[in-house]
Chain A
Amino acid sequence: MSRVHIGEKGGRIGAWISAPGNDASSEGGRMLLNSDFDNLKHHYSDRRAITGGDPAPEGFYYGAGMVDPVFSFPPLPFVPLAFMATARQITDYTVSFPPMSNYNPSGPGGITFIGTPKFTVYNNRVVVENQFEIWDAQAWCYVWVFANPIEGL
Chain B
Amino acid sequence: MPERVLIELDGSSPRFRISRPGKSVFSTNVGDFLIREDMPVYRAFVNGSRSFSSGTSSTNVTIPSISGPVFVVARASDGLAMGQQAQFGGYYVAMVNNTTLNIRNEGAARTIFYSVFGNQLLGGA
Same complex:
yes
Do A148 and B31 have beta carbons less than 8 Å apart? yes
Kindly state whether residue A45 has any CB partner on chain B within 8 Å: yes
Number of A-B contacts (CB under 8 A): 119
Q: Which residues of A lie under 8 Å from residue B36 when comparing CB positions?
A: 41, 147
Q: Measured between alpha carbons, how far is A31 from B30 in the docked complex, in Å?
A: 23
Q: Measured between alpha carbons, how far is A82 from B3 in the docked complex, in Å?
A: 29
Do A42 and B40 have beta carbons less than 8 Å apart? yes
Interface size on A, residues (CB 8 A): 44
| Candidates B41, B97, B124; contact of A42 at CB < 8 Å | B41
Quick one: closest B residue to A92, CB to CB? B97
Kindly state whether residue B83 has any CB partner on chain A within 8 Å: yes
Quick one: closest A residue to B83, CB to CB? A98
Q: Which residues of A lie under 8 Å from residue B71 when comparing CB positions?
A: 83, 85, 95, 97, 142, 144
Q: Measured between alpha carbons, how far is A103 from B60 in the docked complex, in Å?
A: 13
State which size class the interface on B falls in: 35 or more
Q: Measured between alpha carbons, how far is A40 from B83 in the docked complex, in Å?
A: 23
Kindly state whether residue B62 has any CB partner on chain A within 8 Å: no
Kindly state whether residue B111 has any CB partner on chain A within 8 Å: no
Kindly state whether residue B94 has any CB partner on chain A within 8 Å: yes
A interface residues with partner B (beta carbon < 8 Å)? 6-7, 12-15, 33, 35, 37-43, 45-47, 76-78, 83, 85, 87, 92-98, 100-103, 117, 142-144, 146-149, 152
